[in-house]
Amino acid sequence: MLQRGFDVEIFEQASELTEVGAGIQISPNGNRALDSIGAFETLKQLSCKAERKEVRLWNSGKTWKLFDLGPAGVARYGYPYLTVYRPDLLTVCADAVRRLKPEAIHLNARIAGFEEKNGQIVLSLENGQKVTGDGLIGCDGVNSVVRRLTAADEPSQYPGLMIWRGVIPLDSVPTHMRESMAVNWIGPNGHVVHYPLREGEILNLAATIERPVWDEDAWSVEGRKAQCHEDYAGWHDDVHTLIEAAPRLLKWAYLTRKPLTRYSNGRATLLGDACHPTLPFLAQGAVMALEDGVVLARCLEKYGDVEIAFAKYEKARLVRDNAMVAGATDMTSRFHNQDYRDPEKADAFIDREWSAEAVEQRYEWLFTYNCDTAEI
């Protein structure tokens, strides 16, 4: 938006811009959005290009190749598939903002409420400060205050799934686990994803497990290796090698919400997890927010009027966003399935659900989307 001539103020509730060290996958459609805002080339230098994706059976390690993400993928989609260290993504984006407007980001700024008055938004912060602007974009996460004040829908829910997260020095794992690819171990009641980050310096570990009740005091807590090993009892030795190699493990509860039928209300709208929190099983969560941002900026530039632009943005994004969320939820039964306990049933299920044709059907419409030319 700054690039398109709009004056922007960012109010961040945290005291500093930090991100818990973990990995994130950015598919070609997300990198197309990053290129649109001028951040792709810088981030690419800090990231890894995943050459391919594979699925492996939880106990035997039997492997199926999903799709080529190297030169063939770039030729097909125009951009690579990157595995990115979250702090790097945050730093690149924050630096890009500060180059255009050094004082745009305000820390320790937690929203208390807002009202629309005389054709403007008056934002109230918990510190008593009031800020006036032409519009408000709530990108304040799954438990969004802006969403609560505009949509008044049900709060977030724990869906019976949690994730173990860790970042591992690559030189601490065996050589055969250092390849530049994304690996999905799939099992009866969980799955494990790992891939290299930071030009191959570190390895990201993201291990999802079904747990009916979340009984921790917070949604993210320090984890114990012994419990993680127990969660994956009977899984392949490579999985336990990764768990043991992690210097630190964090436990996170997934949170979901029912899909919205609208994002915008007058001069206020929502973006990212605030309007479409998703399970990460299509690896599109951050990508959706990047697409949202580009499309919203285009709408503001094209229509000028904030309320019209927000309505056009909603129309351009809502159906796609909700389809992406639904698609990620649908993937749960492919990552976690009781057929994986039986080798013959597992082979038949994977040959059907993870075939080249099935994978293409699930991902092609995601990767080919162009946020720069999508109808608005």
Q: What CATH code would you report for 10-16+107-157+257-330?
A: 3.50.50.60
Instruction: From residue 323, give the alpha-carbon distance in Å to each of 255, 282, 329, 363.
Output: 18, 11, 10, 12
Q: Which two tokens stand for residue 93?
A: 């984006």
pLDDT digits (tens, 9 = 90+) for 95-120: 999 999 999 999 999 999 999 999 99
Euclidean distance between CA atoms 42 and 45, whole angstroms: 6
Query: Quick one: 310 exposed, middle or buried, by C-beta within 10 A (0-12, 13-18, 19+)?
Result: buried
Radius of gyration of the chain (CA): 21
pLDDT single digits (tens) 156-171:
999 999 999 999 999 9
What is the pLDDT, as a whole number, of residue 243?
98
Q: SS3 for 67?
A: strand
Q: Mean pLDDT throughout 114-135?
A: 96
Query: What angle in degrees, to the nearest 10, is found between the helix axes of 356-367 and 306-330?
Result: 170
Partner residues linked to 53 by β-bridges? 67, 182
Per-residue pLDDT at 64: 94
Q: Please determine, for residue 72, whether its predicted confidence score (pLDDT) is greater than 90.
A: no
Provide the H-helix boundaries in the chain.
Answer: 28-36, 40-46, 71-77, 86-100, 145-150, 225-231, 237-245, 285-303, 306-330, 332-335, 343-353, 356-367
Q: What is the dihedral of CA 12, 276, 56, 221, to 10 degrees?
A: 40
Least confident of 5-19, 246-260, 331-345: 5-19
Instruction: Tell me the average pLDDT across 129-146.
Output: 96
C-alpha span between 229 and 108 (Å, rounded): 38
Instruction: Return the domain boundaries, the chain.
Output: 10-16+107-157+257-330
**pLDDT of 69 strictly over 80:** no
Q: Which range among 6-20, 99-113, 122-136, 174-188 shows the weakest confidence by mean pLDDT? A: 6-20
pLDDT of residue 200: 87
Residue 124 has what pLDDT?
97
Residue 57 phi/psi, 5-degree rounding, is -75, 135
Residue indicated by tokens 């409420």: 113
What's the mean pLDDT in 209-236?
A: 96
What pLDDT is stored for residue 21 in this prediction?
A: 66
Contact yes or no for 106/18 (Cβ under 8 A): no
Q: What is the mean pLDDT of the chain?
A: 95
Query: Which residues does residue 196 pair with via DSSP β-bridges, in sequence order?
Result: 203
Amino acid at residue number 52: R
| Backbone phi and psi for residue 144, each to the nearest 5 degrees, phi listed first | -55, 130
Q: Please report which confidence band the pLDDT of residue 236 belongs to, taking 50, 70 and 90 as the band edges.
A: very high
Q: Is the pLDDT of residue 17 over 90?
A: no
Residue % of the chain over a pLDDT of 90: 90
Q: What is the DSSP letter of 21?
A: S
The confidence score (pLDDT) of residue 73 equals: 84
Residues 210-221 have a mean pLDDT of 95
Per-residue pLDDT reduced to its tens digit, 299-321 = 999 999 999 999 999 999 999 99
Residue 23 has pLDDT above 80, yes or no: yes
- 68 has a pLDDT exceeding 80: no
| CB count in 10 Å sphere of residue 350 | 21
Of the chain, the percentage scoring pLDDT greater than 70 comes to: 99
Banded model confidence at residue 18, pLDDT cuts 50, 70, 90 = confident
